[in-house]
Amino acid sequence: MRRKLAGDAPASASAGGGSAPSEADLAQLSTAISAGEDLGPFVRRAFACGRPEPLLSSLRAVARDRESEIEELCRAHFHDFIRAVDDLRSLLADAEVLKGSLSASHSALLSSSAPLLASLESFLAARALAGNLSSALASSHRCVRLLALAARANDHLQAGNHSLYLALRAVDAIDLNLASRPDPLPLPALRRMLLSLVPAVRVHAEREISREFADWMVSIRAASRHLGQVAIGRSAAARQRQEELRSKHRPLEESITLDDDGAGDLDDFAAATATSDGSDGAAAASFDLTQLYRAMHIHQTLALGERFKKYYLENRKLQLTSDFDVIAATPFLESHQVFFAQIAGFFIVEDRVFRTGGGLTSRVDVDALWEAALGKMISVLEDNFSRMQTANHLLLITDYAALLAATMRRYSYPVGMLLDVLAKHRDKYHDLLLADCRRQVAEALAADKFDQMLMRKEYEYSMNVLAFGIQSSDITPAFPYVAPFSCTVPDICRIVRSFIEDSVSFMAHGGGGDTYAAVKKYLGRILSEVVNASIQKLVDSGSGLSVSQAMQVAANMSIMERACEFFTRHAAQLCGVPLRAVERGRRDFPLRKSRDAAEALLLRLLCSKVDEFMRQSDGVNWIADDPPAGGNEYANEVTIYLETLTSTAQQILPLPVLRRVLVAVLVHISERIIALFLNDSVKRFSASAVIGIDTDLKMFESFAENMSSLFLDSHQDSAASEMKSALVEPRQLVNLLMSNSPENFLNPVIREKSYNKLDYKKVAIISEKFRDTSESYFSTFGTRGARQNPKKKSLDTLIKRLREAS
């Protein structure tokens, strides 16, 4: 058959006018048919070439080959095929039987299942109805629940802002129900209504809570001032309690040495004070933040928490800035308490918000606000302190600022920079305070008549003497009592005591550093720069003071020496320093210059008074033949004056002062007596004049002897010897002039023993004046009868030798 197909191909090709397919094409086609592949490519190629006949002939050849193969196969399996056909016929018969059986069974089944089908249809209808009812009930329940939530939200909205959170919870439940369920509500109108309700309620809640927050911001600003005043007031009360406790513990500190038990007591005292301060701070911080926390919670519920935090912080910054303007309309002295109280209240609120606000504010935010407030307070204080000229005003502001610092420290705010500003102006404060004290001391000195102060009642004694520890005895005197000082002393003591208390108040509460060291420094300044300088100015000017007034000034200075010890003890007690430490650190008398000046003034006036009496010596007869009976008149008056003065001075002047004054007066009298001999107006003098001077000296020496006994009774032996030696020079001069051998002055041994205070030149001048041509001139001291008196010869020898020596 292949040969036949191959033979037909050329005929077809020649008939079609095309070339016969090649052997390769036929082999490919045969292979494709055997493999059951798609013959489409061969067909498309044949038609594309416009020669399908060769392909058709090839296909026919293939078909014939397959037919012949089928025939051969059929002949090989003929018997099997016959058996299969028989089996099929038998099977068809069985199938017919089965088909009849099935038809009968079907008919029976149909007849028996008709009622069941009717029941099934009823059941399906009922089940569909039940499903519809369940769906309707679920939808109804959902709608009812949504409507109940809407009603609840409405009720909460009507109940007020305290129920806004509950309203938002209800609205959130509605929103969650609508968003989480895939099936829509059966009522589109209800869905639209609920969808519009949710944002409306949220907007309303935000608006209402914002309004409430704004009201809270206004109310908390008004409350902050009162809150700050209460907190600062409690700090002041706590400070007062500490001072009272310290004053109660001070005797114990003075009487015991701080061992372990004592230290424990002091620690317990400090701990109790700290506990008291803490409880006061907690009480001062009791205020309502409910509205703030409600606003924060609502905003967090609305997912606006961060925006609310920023809004809160910005508004608080604006409030703090507006709080700074409190001092703009009124003077700082009048508004500083309101200014500081407003700031204190502001940061007490911020501290509570930071600790309980759940992250509403951070430590960084609070610290930034505090730094801004601290910078403003520092600049305001610097500006006002620089223009302030009154110490009391500066102390008032400093004290309140220190209380503010103490209050803020309890809330853990750093206040070091504020205290540094207060400490930096302590010199200016004390300068102003010193200026006030200088004016007060000057007024006290100007008003004093420098008479002894009379006290009629015991309370006057307590107020003017005991209060400053200037009593000379612990025994209360009888009244009326005449004090050894004038009214200036208690006045100045009151001024200095007030200065100490003001200084301690400033240093303890705002001055910083070692309080006692600073107070002691400024105490030294007021004593030296104010009291000492004012008294010295009074003394130097004289101001028409009499001898008694100058004596009173000198007596005042001795009392002031005891007062200075009181000042030191008082400062130590106020600063809590043990007195034993003060006793160890005593210094020299700070009013030494004014004391010396007062004594110098008294001495100057006394010498002036003595000079007035001594001027009466111009009436002395220097060439009298007979000595004056009882001495010269000036000596009597000087002696009476000194005795009268001494009797008064003993009552008010300390004996050392009286000793120094009397010694100086006697030295002055001594110099004046020598000056009488050296006076140019005295050309010559007689032995009678020398005898009169000798009588005068004896009166002065008797006065000195009496005074020496007074000082001996007071155990001042050196003072007695000073009194006796004050008149040595005129005594030696008179002894020389009355000596039988004046030339013995030239003997070094005798001169050192009897005339060691005399000066060569003065002796020469005075000896020149002590001459007389009459022998009787010298006969007063010796025997008569010699042609040339040896005394005159001795005097001439002395004069000659002194001339040669000069």
Q: What is the pLDDT of residues 445-491, one digit of tens each?
A: 888 888 888 888 888 888 888 888 888 777 888 888 888 888 888 99
Hey, what amino acid is at 607? Answer: C
Beta-carbon contacts of residue 491 (< 8 Å; ≥ 6 apart): 440, 444, 448
In this prediction the pTM is 0.66
Q: What is the mean pLDDT of the chain?
A: 78
CA-closest candidate to residue 376, choices 308, 428, 321: 321
pLDDT beyond 70 at 276: no
Using pLDDT thresholds of 50, 70 and 90, give the confidence band for residue 212. Answer: confident
- Measure the CA–CA gap between 30 and 59, rounded to whole angstroms: 9
- Measure the CA–CA gap between 742 and 573, rounded to whole angstroms: 69
Give the DSSP letter of residue 77: T
Highest-pLDDT range among 172-176, 375-379, 576-580: 375-379
> Using an 8 Å Cβ cutoff, are 348 and 223 in contact?
no
Q: For 313-372, what is each residue's pLDDT tens digit? A: 898 888 888 888 777 778 888 888 888 888 888 899 888 888 888 888 889 988 999 999
- Measure the CA–CA gap between 300 and 307, rounded to whole angstroms: 9
Using pLDDT thresholds of 50, 70 and 90, give the confidence band for residue 778. Answer: very low
pLDDT at residue number 582: 65
Tell me how many helices (H) and strands (E) the chain has: 31, 2
pLDDT beyond 60 at 171: yes
Using pLDDT thresholds of 50, 70 and 90, give the confidence band for residue 86. Answer: confident
- Measure the CA–CA gap between 180 and 174, rounded to whole angstroms: 10
Average pLDDT over residues 765-793: 58
pLDDT beyond 60 at 143: yes
**Length of the chain measured in residues:** 806
Highest-pLDDT range among 160-169, 282-291, 737-746: 737-746
- Going from the C-alpha of 2 to that of each of 52, 58, 60, 64, 612, the distances in angstroms are 19, 10, 11, 9, 187
pLDDT beyond 70 at 506: yes
Q: 422-425, long-range: CB within 8 Å, 24+ apart, which pairs?
A: 422/381, 422/398, 422/510, 422/511, 422/512, 423/510, 423/511, 423/512, 423/513, 425/381, 425/385, 425/394, 425/398
pLDDT at residue number 704: 84
pLDDT at residue number 249: 60
pLDDT at residue number 268: 40
pLDDT beyond 50 at 271: no
Percent of the chain with pLDDT over 70: 82
Using pLDDT thresholds of 50, 70 and 90, give the confidence band for residue 716. Answer: low
> Using an 8 Å Cβ cutoff, are 408 and 415 in contact?
yes
Beta-carbon contacts of residue 525 (< 8 Å; ≥ 6 apart): 430, 434
Nearest 5°: CA angle at 765, between 762 and 769?
135
pLDDT beyond 60 at 581: yes
Which range is least confidently modeled, 266-275, 332-341, 556-565, 592-601?
266-275
pLDDT beyond 80 at 283: no
Average pLDDT over residues 54-67: 83
Highest-pLDDT range among 2-11, 25-34, 393-402: 393-402
Q: For 638-684, what is each residue's pLDDT tens digit? A: 888 888 888 888 888 888 888 888 888 888 888 888 888 888 888 88
- Measure the CA–CA gap between 373 and 323, rounded to whole angstroms: 10
Q: If 0-12 CB within 10 Å is exposed, 13-18 middle and 19+ buried, where does residue 168 land?
A: buried
Q: Which residue has the higher pLDDT, 24 or 211?
A: 211
pLDDT at residue number 252: 53
> What Rg value do the Cα atoms of the chain yield, rounded?
66
CA neighbours closer than 13 Å in the CB half-sphere of residue 64: 13
pLDDT beyond 80 at 433: yes
pLDDT at residue number 267: 41
Average pLDDT over residues 701-712: 77
pLDDT beyond 80 at 408: yes
> Using an 8 Å Cβ cutoff, are 252 and 269 in contact?
no
Q: Tokens standing for 680?
A: 């140019």
Which range is least confidently modeled, 82-91, 182-191, 405-414?
182-191
CA neighbours closer than 13 Å in the CB half-sphere of residue 159: 12
CA-closest candidate to residue 520, choices 573, 560, 471, 455: 573
Beta-carbon contacts of residue 660 (< 8 Å; ≥ 6 apart): 599
Q: 707-710, long-range: CB within 8 Å, 24+ apart, which pairs?
A: 707/646, 707/662, 710/650, 710/655
pLDDT beyond 60 at 788: no
pLDDT beyond 60 at 772: no
Using pLDDT thresholds of 50, 70 and 90, give the confidence band for residue 512. Answer: low
Average pLDDT over residues 135-144: 76
Average pLDDT over residues 75-86: 85
> Using an 8 Å Cβ cutoff, are 657 and 554 in contact?
yes
Average pLDDT over residues 394-413: 87
Q: 788-793, long-range: CB within 8 Å, 24+ apart, which pairs?
A: 790/740, 790/741, 791/740, 791/741, 791/742
Average pLDDT over residues 621-649: 82
pLDDT at residue number 494: 92
Percent of the chain with pLDDT over 90: 2
